[in-house]
Structure 1
Amino acid sequence: MIIKFLLIFLVLSFAVRFILPVLLRFFVGRFVQKQARRYGQQFGGGSPFEAAFGTPPPQPRNPAPGSGNVQVDFVPPKPQKGKNQEFRGGEYVDFEEVK
């Protein structure tokens, strides 16, 4: 009787320790992929795994400049030389606290 109990206990513990994690990983992985496909179809795209593993992402319209060439979109205006660029402070304003 005890030997039969120990044998069943060892078989169940072996199944729980080694077989159950493999089965759970398989079923949870399939479930996640199914939900990802459903989510992608709902929002107008294919599977989110397509971009990661399938088709390469689209290339940008303006490729990076070639060797040593730099494109500048905005050049700030240069300050006029007639104005004094150094700030020496403003005028003093007398302050009186009113309660």
Structure 2
Amino acid sequence: MFINFLLITFLIAMVLRLVLPALLRWALSAFVKRQMRKGGVVFGPNGNPFAAPSTSSGPSRAADGEVRVDYVPPTAKRQPDTNFRGGDYVDFEEVK
């Protein structure tokens, strides 16, 4: 009776040792992919997030030595402050 218990326990441990790593690897990769999709990460070819996404209708690349600016933020015109009376006084102490 005790030998049967040990044999069954040993077989269950061996099956878990072989199956559990593959199961955890699959579950973790599925979780990471789901979180990356929620975060807006674009997958490249073959699901690799670090590869460049394959888009044919994207912006064209600039030639060597040429600079291309896609967006220039608008500049706010700043009014000079007429009530400015100078900066704060900072006490200076010389350290030797």
Q: TM-score, normalised by structure 2?
A: 0.48
Bigger proportion of residues as helix: 1
Of the two, which has the highest radius of gyration?
A: 1
Q: TM-score, normalised by structure 1?
A: 0.47
